[in-house]
A and B are shown apart, each in its own frame.
Chain A
């Protein structure tokens, strides 16, 4: 469990990136921090592994204040996946995946064996093991990034817009992959994105942020759609437009749903009513 207690962050230049932020992120669930740029979502994520230290308040992992932990040790037990993969360009794929086990002193043979298993887990062909990151596509690089994040079997996985730079088709594939992995592994995942569709797809809990790291609303995707707290939330989740604003229409005695453009989106299933 990750807990933010009244956390604020003011940068030296005076910007208040996060203001009095409190949230509990339950274990084995995916919490998505979603908001547009400048909402402080990445800053919040980085407070968990002490890449950023809060100016006020505390971040706790299983009731232990991270401020009391040694940052390097802390980071080695938390998986981290970032946009543009963040892979080491001078290391082969297998060495990239084995990075953290090697840092904590696992033997090379053991770390490589584990890395090969992880390549299977994230759906990467083992023949890529000896390639360099630049020889892979963006989607493949992100898979390597995820494998690296999982390499020490961390309880917590931080994902900072991991799929922001890949094309929509690959992104959809990788999102499904994360869902599948999460079903198998049950990690505590904190996922940062500006894409509300991605948030709804992956999140058990969604924290929707306004500028300055203020919580506009938090809850399950259903709660955000059913009861948006204000116009900002309604507009951000798109409850008032497009493919989420569905209206009933009766066609030859059967009720179908159409979106705001009048296009048929589906039928209202009788069995579930």
Chain B
């Protein structure tokens, strides 16, 4: 415990740094995956393409991606940008499938009724389909967020500091507590971000808390 108490400052600093490194891939992945997921849901041809590519992308080990990306994109190997791009790709890969499922989860009857009362395709997307896909999108986003926070630690292998620093440093110096602190802090950060996403979801989708199944009551 001593090590942890004496290094609270370092742990706090690294946690914030870790959070900062996680946020960009999570947000970018979400934003880019929405149109991809929509296209995958909407057209049968693109569905196979998008989901297969996304699935394959996710099977590439992160370290391999760190090595492959720099020569492909002409970016420095030991850079935060390298980590950010790699993690964004993973986030897109996971989120695109979730987004396709999310748009598929929207009741076709509601979509049709929105068309019937005079929604244009554009407004129907933003005011009907996107919000109704919300609960499934959020579920996907939570998986992406937790996954990304876990993956950020790998960045330490190419010198990008995060809570992963505690793993490598603790291993090299044989301080078990330090490694332990890294694991705990990463898990705690993931839990906090997950909880925050849930709270945001409840705030922006108050309707989703009610049972979505439509039970028909007898009385009028």
Contact = CB atoms under 8 A, between A and B. Distances in A.
A138 B207 contact: no
Interface in B99-156: 107, 109-110, 112-120, 123, 128, 131-132, 134
B63 interface: no
A103 B219 contact: no
Nearest to B127: A88
Contact of B116 (A73, A86, A89, A90): A86
Interface residues of A, number: 38
Interface string B152-176: 0000000000000000000000000
Contacts of B216: 137-138, 165-167
B207 A90 contact: yes
A76 interface: yes
B119 A103 contact: yes
Nearest to B216: A138
B220 A76 contact: no
B214 interface: yes
Interface residues of B, number: 30
A43 B206 CA distance: 36
A173 B128 CA distance: 31
A185 B200 CA distance: 44
A258 to B, nearest CB: 33
Interface in A138-197: 138-140, 143, 148, 165-167, 169-170, 173-174
Contacts of B219: 137, 139, 170
Interface of B: 107, 109-110, 112-120, 123, 128, 131-132, 134, 205-208, 210-212, 214, 216-220
Given A86-B110, A88-B113, A170-B219, 17 more contacts: A49-B116, A51-B112, A72-B118, A75-B117, A80-B117, A84-B214, A86-B109, A86-B113, A86-B114, A90-B132, A103-B118, A103-B123, A132-B210, A134-B212, A135-B210, A139-B220, A170-B218
